[in-house]
């Protein structure tokens, strides 16, 4: 069985962001980056940690200059490949499977996938080394990619604002020679972006014709104990007023749900819970909505007074919206909202850590860990600048992506040390860029209206 269907848990027999300008904001306005001119760095990557006496610090890395393709196409003649890393062991917080010896080893989700909206590409960055190991065209042309979603085997799906969703394999052994050249040709970094149709690690592309194709969210699928694998991982996406469910293996449209709203729908983000239900943030109608995975039934509720920009689902299955330093929790048992104190709403994403915290930043680069029960700020870390997108990796590090800029930051909440990667191009992503949120999400049942 191919590894795209396999998450191996344990050892031995225990198995297991239109850039440029013009992305409307919920309060009117735009997500333009202003006068910032991002560039791609091509010096050798590296990181340094320099903690200060106060327990904070920083490091930096620039883009990967390892040109060429992974097999037989490198200008320097190298034939190296970049397999998925095997250094973190068991994926945390996943239900323990029972596998009768059908598989062994570890599969570790150690990549963060960030959209370079201005360039029309996505970057694959190792979260442990902060080295960019691949960069891929997200659409044949004029894609403007934004949100990414990572499934439980590490593969990524990316939505293009101008319509179209692409899936890329994380692990080269799953890539299929499809460009007419023997062997596997695939990007090895920022300086080596292959033309559309030439990268063999493109699994599929499904075109959509619409004005706004933003949200994308994998479902977890079902665990097959006999194969020691997760199977049937579907993908949610929204194109204008149409919510589509795609087959994760082929990209084929399995179902389409038409949203009510009289053409005012503007679905800005989305996430799936453990049961595969889709939670969408419709800023056009000021609503949170849910599509039931089994019945396709639609429910909707008004957003809280601070509004919402980012969205995630916690380990109990409760959806959250956030923006401008405020987080709001939707209580499934009462269909009511609770919001953190002192905020007025605004922009920016958020992400849970799979345990007690939801991370979200304010306009000044302060990223705060809000307790998911009390809504108090239990932890915080200062980033070098405002970060628009937030994600958490499988080592518990908190990532922030600059607003249509060139930098991504990795913060260690326990030490305050912040490392930088500076090779992005007009980056804009604030979704589950690592797959950690999907791996820890809960299923909270059907809300009470």
Domain range summary for the chain, segments of one domain joined by +: 3-16+21-440
- Residue 432 pLDDT exceeds 50: yes
What is the average per-residue pLDDT within 68-81?
35
**The pLDDT of residue 224:** 86
Q: What's residue 36's pLDDT?
A: 35
The sign of the torsion formed by the CA atoms of 166, 169, 174, 176 equals: positive
287 with 301: CB under 8 angstroms?
Answer: yes
Please, which pLDDT band fits residue 163 given cuts at 50, 70 and 90?
A: very high
pLDDT of residue 61: 52
Q: Strand pairing of 287-291 and 336-339?
A: unpaired
Query: Cβ distance 8 to 179 under 8 Å?
Result: no
pLDDT band at 13 (very low <50, low <70, confident <90, very high): very low
User: pLDDT category, 18, cuts 50, 70, 90?
Assistant: very low
Which range, 108-112, 229-233, 258-262, 274-278, has the best average confidence (pLDDT)? 274-278
Percent with pLDDT over 70 in the chain:
76
pLDDT at 5: 38
When pLDDT is averaged across residues 193-221 and rounded to a whole number, the result is 97
CB 115 within 8 A of CB 38: no
What average pLDDT does this structure show over 79-104?
38
Does domain 3-16+21-440 fall into CATH 3.30.470.20? no
Lowest mean pLDDT among 45-59, 208-222, 313-327: 45-59
Q: Among 82-91, 175-184, 194-203, whose mean pLDDT is lowest?
A: 82-91
Q: What is the mean pLDDT of residues 164-190?
A: 97
Which segment of 45-54, 215-224, 347-356, 420-429 scores lowest on mean pLDDT? 45-54
What is residue 440's three-state secondary structure?
Answer: helix
| 185 has pLDDT over 70 | yes
Residue 62 has pLDDT above 70, yes or no: no
**Quick one: average pLDDT of 217-236?**
91
Burial of 92 (0-12, 13-18, 19+ CB in 10 A): middle
Does position 102 have pLDDT exceeding 50, yes or no?
Answer: no
pLDDT given for residue 54 in this prediction: 36
Q: Please say if the pLDDT value at position 50 is more than 50.
A: no
CA neighbor of 4 nearest in space, from 152, 226, 191: 152
- Using CA atoms, how far apart are residues 300 and 291, in angstroms rounded to an integer? 9
Question: Measuring CA to CA, which residue among 189, 195, 194, 199 is closest to residue 43?
Answer: 189
3-state SS, residue 365:
coil
Q: Report whether pLDDT(79) > 70.
A: no
What's residue 86's pLDDT? 28
- Res 16: pLDDT: 30
Mean of the pLDDT values across residues 391-404? 96
pLDDT of residue 108: 53
The pTM of this model reads 0.80
Average pLDDT over residues 191-214: 97
Helix, strand, coil percent values for the chain (each to nearest 5):
0, 35, 60
Q: What is the pLDDT of residue 264?
A: 83
Residue 444 pLDDT grade (very low, low, confident, very high; cuts 50, 70, 90): confident
**345 has pLDDT over 60:** yes
Asked whether the predicted pLDDT for residue 287 surpasses 80, the reply is yes
pLDDT for 173 beyond 60: yes
CB 430 within 8 A of CB 143: no
> Does the pLDDT at position 4 exceed 90?
no
pLDDT band for 229, please (50, 70, 90 cuts): confident
Considering only 20-24, 137-141, 175-179, 306-310, which range has the smallest mean pLDDT?
20-24
Distances in Å between the Cα of 55 and the Cα atoms of 210, 214, 361, 412, 418 are 48, 38, 19, 10, 10
For residue 173, give the 3-state DSSP assignment.
Answer: helix
State the DSSP code for 3: G
Range of weakest confidence among 51-55, 102-106, 330-334, 430-434: 102-106
User: Token pair 């909206």 is at which residue?
Assistant: 117
State the Cα–Cα distance between residues 76 and 287, nearest whole angstrom. Answer: 53
């Amino acid at each position: 069985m191919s590894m795209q269907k396999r998450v191996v848990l344990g050892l031995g027999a225990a198995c297991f962001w239109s850039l440029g300008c013009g992305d409307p904001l919920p309060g009117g306005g735009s997500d333009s980056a202003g006068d910032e001119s991002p560039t791609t760095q091509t010096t050798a990557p590296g990181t340094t940690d320099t903690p200060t006496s106060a327990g904070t610090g920083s490091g930096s890395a620039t883009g990967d200059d390892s040109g060429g393709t992974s097999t037989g196409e490198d200008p320097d003649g190298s034939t190296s490949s970049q397999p998925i890393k095997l250094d973190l062991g068991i994926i945390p917080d996943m239900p323990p499977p029972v596998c009768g010896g059908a598989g062994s080893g570890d599969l570790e989700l150690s990549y963060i996938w960030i959209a370079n909206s201005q360039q029309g590409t996505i970057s694959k960055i190792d979260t442990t080394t902060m080295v960019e190991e691949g960069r891929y065209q997200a659409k044949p042309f004029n894609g403007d990619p934004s949100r990414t979603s990572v499934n439980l085997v590490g593969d990524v799906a990316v939505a293009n604002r101008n319509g179209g969703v692409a899936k890329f394999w994380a692990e080269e052994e799953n890539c299929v020679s499809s460009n007419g050249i023997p062997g596997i040709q695939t990007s090895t970094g920022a300086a080596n972006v292959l033309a559309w149709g030439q990268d063999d690690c493109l699994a599929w592309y499904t075109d959509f014709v619409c004005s706004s194709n933003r949200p994308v969210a994998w479902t977890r699928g079902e665990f097959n104990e006999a194969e020691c694998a997760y199977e049937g991982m579907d993908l949610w996406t929204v194109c204008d007023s149409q919510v589509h469910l795609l087959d994760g293996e082929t990209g084929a449209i399995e179902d389409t749900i038409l949203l009510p709203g009289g053409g005012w729908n503007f679905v800005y983000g989305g996430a799936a819970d453990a049961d595969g239900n889709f939670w969408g943030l419709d800023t056009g109608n000021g609503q949170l909505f849910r599509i039931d995975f089994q019945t396709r039934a639609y429910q909707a509720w008004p957003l809280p007074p601070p509004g919402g920009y980012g969205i995630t689902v916690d380990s109990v299955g409760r959806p959250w919206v956030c923006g401008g330093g405020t987080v709001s929790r939707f209580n499934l048992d009462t269909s009511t909202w609770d919001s953190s104190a002192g905020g007025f709403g605004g922009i920016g994403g958020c992400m849970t850590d799979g345990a007690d915290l939801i991370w979200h930043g304010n306009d000044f680069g302060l990223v705060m860990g809000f307790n998911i029960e009390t809504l108090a700020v239990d932890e915080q870390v200062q980033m070098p600048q405002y970060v628009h997108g937030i994600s958490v990796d499988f080592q518990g590090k908190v990532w922030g992506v600059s607003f249509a800029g060139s930098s991504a930051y990795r913060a260690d909440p326990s030490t305050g040390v912040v490392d930088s990667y500076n090779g992005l191009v007009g980056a804009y992503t604030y979704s589950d860029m690592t797959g950690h949120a999907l791996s820890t999400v809960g299923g909270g049942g059907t809300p009470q209206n």
